[in-house]
Chains A and B, each alone.
Chain A
Amino acid sequence: MRPFSYSRATDARDALERFQPGTMYLGGGTNLVDLMRLGVARPDSLVDVTRLPYDTVEAAGDGLRIGAAVRNSDLAMHPVVRERYPMLARAVLSGASGQVRNMATVAGNLLQRTRCPYFQDISHPCNKRRPASGCPAIDGDHSGLAVFGHSEHCVATHPSDMAVALAALDARVHVTGPAGDRVVPMPGLHRLPDGEPERDTVLAAGELITAVELPPPPAGASHYRKVRERASFAFALVSVAAVLDVADGVVRDCRLALGGVAHAPWRAELAEAELRGAPATQEDFSRAAEAELSRARPLPRNAYKVPLARNLIVRTLQELVP
């Protein structure tokens, strides 16, 4: 690991002032420290942002404002989250381990980097790690990587479970930075790789996440379901965050987001459009899933994700029918 200096910021302004070229913000460190040890991240200085006054979950109108420094375990244990946003609590609980969730922060979870095996191994080229060096995953092991929205430059997936639930809930990410404050809607924080896979998100250098705001929970029943290679403590091969509101056997509204399939949480807008106003039957759920998956572009070793995603969508929606 390269030497670095460490300091603790006391508030957002202090954090922004401490940010120089070569600085990285430090949350719980569960991803960043790992990547520093692997030689993937090489900051000159760390500015610790876990002591910023963003460690509470508070009512905001009819919604909720979650501080960026709230630990993942505290988010999942919060009574209002469990009661009103159970899909979010379940997504967070399905990620990592009790130990990691106790350390990990909300902002750090959103900004964790891909688990692409070549990205994490500096003996390989990787466009995300070193622009224009190539993407060995395209002809190599992409079995866990993207089927939607990838480019000839990168086929990585974003690994966060929490981000998938937030994308389905229309969360808004509050950001402050050298150019002032702004709000980034979810989905929309994470970008598709296009020709710039080195950029995971739309954030500019030095921008600091301060909070995640949830609008009032959507009507209907919700669920987060995750398929992985072992029963627990593994990243998603495919996951789904689903909200379904049914009245008189007809879908009034729905939200559907997929994880493990793209460089960003994948909001299944084509499926949602098919579902609104349709009968809440297995056939209609299958049709909606097929509509979404018609735009999948699987690679030779991850084609299994297409039927897996279809079945996961259909089964999860069926469970949500009252």
Chain B
Amino acid sequence: MAEITLQVNGAQRSVSADTRTSLLDLLREHLDLTGTKKGCDHGQCGACTVLIDGRRANSCLALAVAWDGAEITTVEGLGDGAEPHPLQTAFMDFDAFQCGYCTPGQLCSAAGMLAEGGPSAVTADLTGDPPLTAEEIRERMNGNLCRCGAYVNIVAAIEDVSR
């Protein structure tokens, strides 16, 4: 067992958990924050994406104990029905989901991605800060799969927020 203290969506939370607990399971099972989803549990789908110290990460591959002391933002912390995050509004405006299972991960990943800047694997000149074209957004969002295939509208929603 380990004592784990995290700053989750602005509030300090202390939990006693087995060292094997992933950050994803800690959020869902111990803190009842079920917005963050489990798809593959292997880092391959992005449904579990949260922001750790402001950077997007796969919470399924993060051992909670290894991030003791970190600041976590989940989809619940991005915004809510009363005060949605601009990405949440854009996802609704652009119909950027069908079943919605991948959506919390898409939103957290997009929020982290928009804060990153710099080049991606499809950028021609690596020294610059390229404009976020649809091609750039697709590459940068490669870690988030959508089984419903809502990609076209997901990219459009993110492009809208990035402008």
Q: Identify the interface centre among A5, A30, A48, A103: most chain B CB within 10 Å of its CB.
A: A103
Q: Assuming A4-B19, A89-B126, A98-B140, is B56 touching A34 (CB within 8 A)?
A: no
CB-based contact B142/A102 at 8 Å: no
Q: Assuming A37-B41, A86-B126, A99-B56, is B62 touching A29 (CB within 8 A)?
A: yes
CB-based contact B58/A82 at 8 Å: no
Q: Answer yes or no: B131 CB below 8 A from chain A CBs.
A: no
Total interface residues on A, CB under 8 Å, equals: 35
A280→B43 CA distance, assembly (Å)? 43
CB-based contact B55/A6 at 8 Å: no
Total interface residues on B, CB under 8 Å, equals: 37
CB-based contact A34/B121 at 8 Å: no
CB-CB under 8 A from A5, the residues of chain B are 19
* Interface bits B129-155 vs A (CB < 8 Å: 1, else 0): 000000000111111100000000000
A103 touches which of B19, B42, B61, B126 (Cβ 8 Å): B61
Q: Identify the interface centre among B18, B66, B138: most chain A CB within 10 Å of its CB.
A: B66
CB-based contact B18/A3 at 8 Å: yes
B143 touches which of A33, A86, A90, A98 (Cβ 8 Å): A98
A3 touches which of B20, B52, B56, B58 (Cβ 8 Å): B20
CB-CB under 8 A from A83, the residues of chain B are 127
Q: Answer yes or no: B36 CB below 8 A from chain A CBs.
A: no
B112 touches which of A28, A76, A82, A98 (Cβ 8 Å): A98
CB-CB under 8 A from B141, the residues of chain A are 98
A48→B46 CA distance, assembly (Å)? 24
Chain A, range 56-110, C-beta contacts under 8 Å to B: 73, 76-77, 79, 82-83, 86, 89-90, 93-94, 96-100, 102-103
Chain A, range 15-47, C-beta contacts under 8 Å to B: 26, 28-30, 33-34, 37, 46
CB-CB under 8 A from A30, the residues of chain B are 43, 58, 61
CB-based contact B22/A6 at 8 Å: no
Q: Answer yes or no: B88 CB below 8 A from chain A CBs.
A: no
CB-based contact B109/A99 at 8 Å: yes
Q: Identify the interface centre among A1, A79, A233: most chain B CB within 10 Å of its CB.
A: A233
A150→B55 CA distance, assembly (Å)? 39
* Interface bits B103-132 vs A (CB < 8 Å: 1, else 0): 000000100110010111100001100000
Q: Answer yes or no: B63 CB below 8 A from chain A CBs.
A: yes
CB-based contact B62/A233 at 8 Å: no
CB-based contact A103/B57 at 8 Å: yes
CB-based contact A103/B63 at 8 Å: no
Q: Answer yes or no: A282 CB below 8 A from chain B CBs.
A: no
A22→B140 CA distance, assembly (Å)? 38
CB-based contact A100/B109 at 8 Å: no
Q: Answer yes or no: B2 CB below 8 A from chain A CBs.
A: yes
Q: Answer yes or no: A232 CB below 8 A from chain B CBs.
A: yes
Say how far B69's CB is from chain A's closest CB, in angstroms: 10
CB-CB under 8 A from B118, the residues of chain A are 76-77, 82
A34→B49 CA distance, assembly (Å)? 16
CB-based contact B113/A1 at 8 Å: no
- The 6 closest A-B CB pairs, nearest first, are A97-B143, A233-B142, A232-B142, A93-B121, A82-B126, A102-B55
B residues neighboring A (CB under 8 Å)? 2, 18-20, 22, 41-43, 46, 49, 52, 55-58, 61-63, 65-66, 109, 112-113, 116, 118-121, 126-127, 138-144
